[in-house]
Amino acid sequence: YFEGCPNVAEIEEFLKREGKQFSMVEQGSLPPGHSLKSCSSPTLMIDGHVIFGSKTDGAALGCTLEYFDAEKIRARLSTHLP
């Protein structure tokens, strides 16, 4: 995510409610050219696979345009986590 992202709190709270372990990476703390800088904010990934959000061309920080739908994300997580 990028600092100030208006949507990161919602997905963070969702993951906590679901009891999921996760790491948050603030894109501004990453070195130039890091692969996670080419993700929209927020992006939820499991083992490099995008569950929510998207990869971008990396030219600039951008918001995830997909609407956060808890049921849809829950279903996606269940196919990638035990």
Considering only CA atoms, give the Rg of the chain.
12
Q: Is the Cβ–Cβ distance between 81 and 51 less than 8 Å?
A: no
DSSP string, 18-57: TT-------GGGSPTT-GGGGB-BS-EEETTEEEES-B--
Q: Taking Cα atoms as reference points, which of 82, 52, 55 lies closest to residue 67?
A: 52
- Which pLDDT value is given to residue 67? 87
Alpha-carbon span 20 to 81, nearest angstrom: 10
Q: Give the pLDDT confidence of 38-67 residue by residue, as tens digits.
A: 899 999 999 888 999 998 876 667 889 888
Question: Residue 24: which pLDDT band, with cuts at 50, 70 and 90?
Answer: very high
